[in-house]
Amino acid sequence: MESPSSLSLWPAFLPLPAFDPFLGFALALVFTALVGEVLARRATLPRVSGYALAGLVLGPLVTGWFSAVELERYRGLVDLALALLLFELGVRLDLRWFRANPWLLAASAAEAALAFLLSLGALLAFGMDWSPALLLAAIALGTSPAVVMRVTAELRAEGQVTSRLLALCALNVAYSVILFTLLLHLARGVAGAGWLQALWQPFYLVAGSLLVAVLVAGAFALLRRLFNPASEQGVVVIFGLLLGALAILSMLKLPPILAPLLAGVLVKLRDPRPQLWAQHFGSLGGVLVVALFMFSGAALYIGHFGTALLLALAVAVARSLGKLGGVLVCGRASGLSTAKSVALGLALLPLSGVALLLAYEAQLADPALGAQVLPVVACLVAVFGVLGPVVSQRALIHVQENRKGEEA
Amino acid sequence: MSLQAFSASRALSIGVELELQLVNTHDYDLVGAAEDLLRLVALGDKPGEIKPEMTDSMIEVSTGVCDNYGMLLEQLVDLRDTVADAARRLNIGICGGGTHPFQDWGERRIVDRPRFHHLSDLYGYLAKQFTVFGQHVHVGCPGADVALYLIHGLSRYIPHLIALSAASPFVQGHDTGFQSARLNSVFAFPLSGRAPFVETWTDFGAYFEKMTGTGVVASMKDFYWDIRPKPEFGTVEVRVMDTPLSLERAAAITAYIQALARYLVVERPIQPAEDDYLVYTFNRFQACRFGYAGTYVDPETHWHCPIADEIDASLTRIEQHAIELGVDHVLGRLRQAVREGRNGAAWLRERHAAEGNLPEVVMAQCTRWMEGEVV
């Protein structure tokens, strides 16, 4: 047998190349972006559906390009992408609107409460225990802020359904995170971890996030005097600010969801001037968004299917009915036509990154509980992460709020 | 098809229509919210009307027939408060101004009404480009021949009215150099410009029949003239003004038109002639381009002077009529504004220089319109 070195073109004096896992990530990113682009051009579907679909294919469920360990490695990237989108969503929420139109708050409470109660009922009816059922229902009442931001941006959507979609989404994300934390720690309180601890946690979540949000919003206001947020340097400053906030949140063991959202809300409340930065902070933010959706798709395991699928379908139906019903009940009073209320209810359906983050948190806190919650959430995200954006997009086109793309 | 009879109306009664911009409060671009707003507004038994316009980011508010300035201002304030309240419930802004400074006309949507679809089919992209915002003022006339006299008389004051109302320096994100760029959009329509020189309703009827005979027009609505008769109301309608940035300026301009009309009808100071119109488009252009600083050419003496001077002189000419109508204080403030060079276009450019971007200018426009000014 000839020695390999005599055949190889590789010079012996160079070290043999070792596979860098980052290459795998880079290729996956290119593949994901391509799938999104092809779906958008050929089928006029939202790009985020393509990203999530590509993630599904790359994840452990289909090809196994990403393993669970690798997903954890890029967690920081996902957190930053989400924080950027949540901050932007917060800036779109003007609290003064609720004073002028309190029925909007009623609509928000109704759609979230109905989605929660109907999902809970469905899970209990299918024989799930109270603890995981409550946690799942708390996750299911939310809407994916990332999907909503992406879909509206892609359509350049503007109008009543769009602005209500963004407002209700911001609110139900906040409800979902707070309620989830409360229920998770109550469940553990029941299991003997102590009641004081159970009640302290949600308070800590809200107070801690608010504190970080005040810091971020204050720093933003100061920096805005020096930088134009629409300029390239301005975007770098905002990135830095949010990265710092994420670091502090991680030190304080707080989820990276509520604080960026609240920070955005505070920025708009303090300064109603238009915030003119590039949507999703330009191309750098765009890369993070692709990664975010790729990972949310890749989080599905083969073991997730089975009974979890059935439960997820039950929640899917219950949650859809809840959101539609809640929005319709308050539609007229809040000043929205029935057709637009239906569109709003449908547009609120996407579920994605935040739901997964919460499910992971449940698993971390209590692996036994997490084992019941995570599979159902993963199935829900597979359904509402891929199809949800399509429903949102069609709903907005139907009510003619898209300024880009086809005329309905 | 023959022309309808000219209904009689109370002489010198006034009415105003204002086309308003609907914008979002996030980046202050135009937003398609006309249908949502119209569903919410309820005037109850108050006079006036709120209607959709060609594209879905416009609405038109109009007063009923008013006897005087006070009544008009009261109705306008009611209309403003009604639409502003509905706008707040929808989280949108409402503002004056002849153009939206940075909207993309290609993104506009035609409102779903047969008339608007017909116009869109006929005029193509001009219909969407017609997302511009004007103030129309009706003046009541006791008879048709008086109306035609008034049309020719008021046509000399078109530059004055343009300069006073001009509030459209920015179009599609750029400073046009004009004070009223809106009128350039109106000029694109084939039947825009001035009314024909006829002095009796019989002659006007003959002209109208010849035009309908060509198949070019079907009704008076198809004429986009700067000043046109409105036979069903028994009024003359002046249509050259940009919607001013504040309701107070809109009311003051209406008072000015009413006083001019009283001067013309009572004193009959001019003998209208076809040759009056030789300088018409020149004067009109000067006013659109340069506002108060534009050149005004007197149609009779061919004397040249700045438009500001001619407005000042006209205010002196009609002073007695302003006093009779009880609007001398209103016109006094208008005279002050002319002397200080204040109009919408100047204010918009100042704001733009101060803010550095157009969305913040629109935000300031909304505050100015929705919260009003101290009179």
Domain segments of chain B as ranges: 14-371
Put simply, the answer to whether A276 touches B357 (Cβ < 8 Å) is: yes
Query: Is B121 an interface residue toward A (CB < 8 Å)?
Result: no
Residuewise pLDDT in 10s, chain A (408 residues): 444 445 566 677 777 777 777 788 888 888 888 988 898 888 888 988 888 888 888 877 677 777 766 667 777 788 888 888 899 999 999 999 999 999 999 999 999 999 999 999 999 999 999 999 999 999 999 999 989 998 998 898 999 999 999 999 999 999 999 999 999 888 877 766 677 777 888 889 999 999 999 999 999 989 888 877 777 777 888 888 999 999 999 899 888 899 999 999 999 999 888 877 666 565 666 777 788 777 777 766 656 567 788 899 999 999 999 999 999 999 989 999 999 999 999 999 998 888 988 988 888 888 888 888 988 998 888 888 889 999 999 999 999 998 876 654
Query: Using CA atoms, how far apart are residues A305 and B45, in angstroms rounded to an integer?
Result: 62
- Chain A residues lying within 8 Å of B27, measured CB to CB: 274, 276
Cα B138 to chain centroid, rounded: 10
Which among B56, B89, B357 has CB closest to A335? B89
Cβ separation of A337 and B39 shorter than 8 Å?
A: yes
Nearest chain A residue to B29 by CA distance is: A158
Task: Determine the residue among A103, A152, A158 to mutate to test chain B binding: the one whose Cβ has the most chain B Cβ atoms within 10 Å.
Answer: A158
Name residues whose C-beta falls within 8 Å of residue A255's C-beta, 6 or more positions apart in sequence.
Answer: A177, A181, A205, A249, A357, A358, A361
CB pairs under 8 A between A and B: 61
Confidence (pLDDT) at A7: 53
Domains (ranges, CATH) in chain A?
Answer: 47-398 (1.20.1530.20)
From chain A, the residues in CB contact with B33 under 8 A are 159-160
- Distances in Å between the Cα of A36 and the Cα atoms of A40, A42, A160, A262, B117 are 6, 10, 27, 30, 36
Q: Confirm or reject contact between B39 and chain A (CB < 8 A).
A: yes
Q: What is d(CA A256, CA A216) in angstroms, rounded to the nearest whole number?
A: 13
pLDDT of residue A408: 41
pLDDT, tens only, B193-233: 999 999 999 999 999 999 998 887 888 888 999 999 999 99
Q: What is the pLDDT of residue A406?
A: 60
Selecting from B25, B27, B31 the residue whose C-beta is nearest the C-beta of A94 gives B25
Query: Are B26 and A401 in contact (CB < 8 Å)?
Result: no
Give the gyration radius of chain B's Cα atoms.
20
The CATH topology of domain B14-371 is: Creatine Kinase; Chain A, domain 2 (3.30.590)
Tokens at residue A105, please?
A: 């708050």
Share of chain B above pLDDT 70, in %: 98
The owner of tokens 């006897």 is: B67
Residues of B in contact with A401 (CB under 8 A): 32
> Is the CB of residue B264 less than 8 Å from the CB of residue B153?
yes
DSSP per-residue string spanning B159-216:
HHHHHHH--B-EETTEE-S-SB-HHHHHHTSTTEE------SHHHHHHHHHHHHHHTS
Best of B22, B26, B81 to disrupt the A interface (most A CBs within 10 Å) is B26
- Least CB–CB distance from A94: residue in B33, B36, B91: B91
- A385: which 2 tokens? 């992460």
Å between A213 CA and nearest CA of chain B: 21
Q: In Å, how far is B35's CA from the nearest CA of chain A? A: 9
Please judge whether B357 and A159 are an interchain contact, meaning their C-beta atoms are less than 8 angstroms apart.
no
Q: Give, in order, the Cα–Cα distances in Å from A365 to each of A131, A180, A187, A361, B295.
A: 13, 12, 11, 6, 79
User: Are residues A331 and A338 in contact, defined by beta-carbon separation less than 8 angstroms?
Assistant: yes
Res A168: pLDDT: 97
Q: What is the pLDDT of residues B102-154, one digit of tens each?
A: 999 888 889 988 988 888 888 888 888 889 999 999 999 989 999 999 999 99
**What is the per-residue pLDDT for A2?**
45
Verify whether the Cβ–Cβ distance A272 to B359 is below 8 Å: no
> Any idea which residue has 């002189």 for tokens?
B313
Q: Which residues in chain A have Cβ-Cβ distances shorter than 8 Å to B36?
A: 159-160, 335-337, 340
Q: Are strands B92-95 and B227-230 parallel, antiparallel or unpaired?
A: unpaired
Q: What is the pLDDT of residue A407?
A: 53
Chain A's closest residue to B359, CA to CA, is: A274
On chain A, the residues whose CB falls within 8 A of the CB of B28 are 274
